[in-house]
Copies of this chain bind each other. A is one copy, B any other.
Amino acid sequence: MPDQRTNHDTRDRILDVAERLFMEHGYEATSMRMITGAAEVNLAAVNYHFGSKEALLREVFRRRLSWLNRERLEVLDRLEAQAGGTPLKPSQILEAFFGTLLRMGEDESLGGMTFLRLLGRTLTDPAEFIRHFFAGEYAEVIDRYKRALFRALPDVPQAEIVWRLHFMLGAMSYAIAGTDVLQVVTGCGLSDLAGENGAQGPGDTALARRLAQRLMPFLLGGLRAPLPQLLDPSGNQQESSPKTA
């Protein structure tokens, strides 16, 4: 036992460091040597504890997503129990889904903004094993929330709701990813209060709360926007009964 600087053991130190480096550089651009070097563990430790680099990435996400999935389902269960048999309000559903995620950004023990950024950046990674992994991890929760939205918005075509769920997920992912051009061009963005990628100032937790306050009205406005007039000349899946409120 050469150095016990925290009560983290080797395994957790690797996970913490990998989480940060994957966030900063992306999966492909992060080498095992960068991870083990920064974590001050031996190069062979990753393969011993996790088996492979791919398995390490999965474990980095699994320890966070298991909490997030459970919490999202419990919050929705609670809301639906309170509502009796009546449909929830869209704002409640969005608050449960996105609010739960954004609360992770306020809590360092749940990964904080580091994990939120990692998630936002990795959700658009084209690697096959990553897409497959996320599909499995998200399936149940997405299905539950999708059906809650169907019940909450019975007059909106279900295909339209799914599209808007796409758009909402994208708005949030991109915002928390914080890699976009806007914050370079405008000097305004996630990092106007937090430091650069790696630097985790104490303002980072307040950041998630402020982002939530900005984001939720936007998402709700988009979700409840008037339906498009689908006049597509090649319209092979015309919607029924467009609605304007």
Contact = CB atoms under 8 A, between A and B. Distances in A.
Contact of A185 (B123, B139, B184): B139
Given A174-B169, A179-B131, A214 B160 contact: yes
A12 interface: no
Nearest to A210: B232
Contact of A131 (B23, B184, B228): B184
Contacts of A23: 126
Interface stretch (A1-9, A24-32, A52-60, A71-79): A24-32
Contacts of A197: 126
A123 B179 contact: yes
Which of A126, A131, A209 has the most B CB atoms < 10 Å from its CB? A126
Which of A25, A170, A221, A226 has the most B CB atoms < 10 Å from its CB? A170
Interface in A202-242: 206, 209-210, 213-230, 232, 234
Contacts of A162: 182, 186, 188
A168 interface: yes
A218 B127 contact: no
A175 interface: yes
Nearest to A117: B126
A181 B217 contact: no
Contact of A29 (B25, B123, B127): B127
A170 B239 CA distance: 26
A188 to B, nearest CB: 5
A167 interface: yes
B171 A222 contact: yes
Contact of A225 (B28, B186, B217, B228): B217
Nearest to A128: B25
A184 B166 CA distance: 12
A120 interface: yes
Interface of A: 23-26, 28-29, 120-121, 123-127, 131-132, 134-135, 137-139, 142-143, 146, 159-160, 162-175, 177, 179-186, 188-189, 197, 206, 209-210, 213-230, 232, 234
12 contacts: A23-B126, A25-B126, A125-B179, A134-B184, A162-B188, A166-B174, A167-B175, A167-B218, A169-B174, A213-B228, A217-B227, A220-B225
